[in-house]
Amino acid sequence: VSVLVLGAGAVTLTTRGGTAPAPMGEVLPVPVSVRPAADISYTLAPDAAVHTEAGSAEAAQVGAYLAGLLRPSTGYALPVVQDGQESGVSLLLTGADPVVGSEGYQLDVTEEAVVIRARTGTGLFNGVQTLRQLLPPRIESATAVPGPWTVRGGRIVDYPRFPYRGAMLDVARHFHPVETVRRYIDRIVLYKINHLHLHLSDDQGWRIAVDSRPRLTEYGGRTQVGGGPGGHYTKAQYREIVEYAAQRHVTVVPEIDLPGHTNAVLASYAELNCDGKARKPYTGTDVGFSTLCTTKEESYAFVKDVLGEIAALTPGPYLHIGGDEATATPPERYAAFMNRVQPMVAATGKTVMGWHQIGEPEVRHQEGRVLQYWGRTGADPLVAGAVAKGARVVMSPANRAYLDMKYDEETVPGQKWAGYVEVRDAYDWDPGSHLEDVPASAVLGVEAPLWTEAISTEKEIEYMAFPRLPAIAELGWSPRATHDWTAFARRLGAQGPRWAAMDLGFHHSPQVTWD
């Protein structure tokens, strides 16, 4: 692996006013290898076309996405032609350096063309996100603005450190409509995030239609924290989210939190309570007080029906079953419950994902399962034990990766139970060595969860996610050898004009010099 870190000279080339192109390689996440070609640059001509691999529908689809990104600000027609020519912007599925693997890409900028080569549509899509950042920030404008649309010359060869780079949105505590989810997807892909975890159920509300249990949404979906109207996704809307994500090479990971975090279920179906009495709807912010009755067969029939319907709607490999904070579940019943539920997930053809509590020793290893770790740095025997049996881990340490933690004492939205998390806290850790006896080889990746007890609007989501989400994204993508706060902070500061052009409201962290 050749890692080329740019020299100090790059610092002087700022993106002032959103009009100048970024120095080659000043991209976030930072690429594996960058070779700038001084004195060379490419300027997009008004009559340029996007040329995609002949006969490839997936390359054409990425081409259409790219043209759709570039048309509003440039005002150019940018036709997409499937002729495989190296001219204008080319998206080709041949000739990439084989190190790029299934998600990486090679990007060459000459005087004549920008050529992105990859082995898959996903690789091309990731290359497109890099190209986007090499263009001046004003490329993100929703209306036509003057160019020139220049990209500096050279070659980037790039691929991810970890295959799983996720963002989670809690749509249960506060419901967030489809358009908000769509826009969130649009924003996270700019930083090569490739999984969207949707926390679809909690004490305060149930957010996905289940045909076999209609009261989940008709009754259990009409509440949220603070007493607002709640809401839910119909199956058609959920499919729309999945499809929108798939077109952006993002896999949706649905979560149904079990056996705790289920007050909305227990309010909707009396028989799932041990005492047979329906619970009252809950709109507060406590955790750990609810549990499905783990000794009743009705509970298992419920879980099987729900997971079956959600699996059928979900093309991605994972079904997340929660498992966190089940303090109302008798400890001896927790493992028995999970030992029945994990095989139900496998029976739907999906891979079990759960919060790291499912790693406890009495819960059997289920082939391929993934634990999402939300604890601190150090040793966690429970997780290490599960990893020794073959579990893989997604790292989401609360004091680093939780986007609902306040930045500092002045932050209005969010919580602070895991401490304040400024952007440097979000960046300065290593998912590959966060936990003793959890080697990087057992780490599937990283995820930044955004819980919404104290976050209700889209603007608050943006403010909490940016600039920390790009920090987590870089930890998931870039080689460890590139880890360098100063260089990262410089590249992050250069995103400011881009976010302004995108009308994205972000936290102007005092730790960063914003362009």
Q: How far is the CB of 287 from ligand TNX (least distance, A)?
A: 5
Helix (H, G, I), strand (E, B) or coil at 282: coil
Residue 498, classified by CB atoms within 10 Å of its CB into exposed (0-12), middle (13-18) or buried (19+), is buried
**Are 36 and 151 spatial neighbours (Cβ–Cβ below 8 Å)?**
no
User: Quick one: which of 184, 402, 429, 477 contacts ligand TNX (CB under 6 A)?
Assistant: 402
Supply the Cα-derived Rg of the chain in whole angstroms: 23
Six token digits for residue 288: 């750990």
Please identify, using beta-carbon distances, which residue of 231 and 260 lies nearer to ligand TNX: 260
Please identify, using beta-carbon distances, which residue of 455 and 502 lies nearer to ligand TNX: 455
What span, in angstroms and rounded, lies between the C-alpha atoms of 474 and 462? 18
Map tokens 């926390």 to a residue: 199
- Does position 53 bind ligand TNX by CB under 6 A? no
Closest-CA residue to 115 (of 199, 73, 52)? 52
Please identify, using beta-carbon distances, which residue of 24 and 391 lies nearer to ligand TNX: 391
Q: How far is the CB of 424 from ligand TNX (least distance, A)?
A: 20
* DSSP code, position 339: H
**Are 181 and 169 spatial neighbours (Cβ–Cβ below 8 Å)?**
yes
Please identify, using beta-carbon distances, which residue of 123 and 413 lies nearer to ligand TNX: 413
Please identify, using beta-carbon distances, which residue of 18 and 254 lies nearer to ligand TNX: 254
3-state helix, strand, coil in the chain (%, to 5): 35, 20, 45
Q: How far is the CB of 403 from ligand TNX (least distance, A)?
A: 9
Q: How far is the CB of 421 from ligand TNX (least distance, A)?
A: 11
Contact partners, residue 134, CB within 8 Å, separation at least 6: 21, 22, 24, 27, 109, 151, 152
Could you give the string, one character per residue 60-89, with x where binding to ligand TNX holds by CB under 6 A and - elsewhere? ------------------------------
Q: How far is the CB of 222 from ligand TNX (least distance, A)?
A: 20
CA distances from 125 to 27, 84, 440, 499 (A): 15, 16, 26, 20
Classify strands 370-373 and 351-355 as parallel, antiparallel or unpaired. parallel
Q: Does the active-site annotation cover 297?
A: no
* Binding to ligand TNX in span 269-298, by CB under 6 A: 287
Omega cis (within 30) before 281: no
What span, in angstroms and rounded, lies between the C-alpha atoms of 441 and 177? 37
> How many positions of this chain bind ligand TNX (CB under 6 A)?
10
- Does position 451 bind ligand TNX by CB under 6 A? yes
User: Quick one: which of 162, 415, 416, 420 contacts ligand TNX (CB under 6 A)?
Assistant: 415
Closest-CA residue to 160 (of 456, 479, 482, 511)? 479
User: Quick one: which of 140, 380, 453, 460 contacts ligand TNX (CB under 6 A)?
Assistant: 453
First-to-last alpha carbon distance for the chain, in angstroms, is: 31
- Does position 404 bind ligand TNX by CB under 6 A? yes
Among residues 271, 325, 360, 458, the one annotated as catalytic is 325
- Does position 460 bind ligand TNX by CB under 6 A? no
Please identify, using beta-carbon distances, which residue of 398 and 501 lies nearer to ligand TNX: 398
Q: How far is the CB of 316 from ligand TNX (least distance, A)?
A: 20
Tell me how many helices (H) and strands (E) the chain has.
15, 17
**Are 355 and 199 spatial neighbours (Cβ–Cβ below 8 Å)?**
no
- Does position 425 bind ligand TNX by CB under 6 A? no
* Binding to ligand TNX in span 345-384, by CB under 6 A: 355, 374
Please identify, using beta-carbon distances, which residue of 90 and 452 lies nearer to ligand TNX: 452
Q: How far is the CB of 460 from ligand TNX (least distance, A)?
A: 14
Amino acid identity of 431? P
* Binding to ligand TNX in span 312-331, by CB under 6 A: 324-325
User: Which residues contact ligand TNX by CB under 6 A?
Assistant: 287, 324-325, 355, 374, 402, 404, 415, 451, 453
Active site residues per annotation = 325
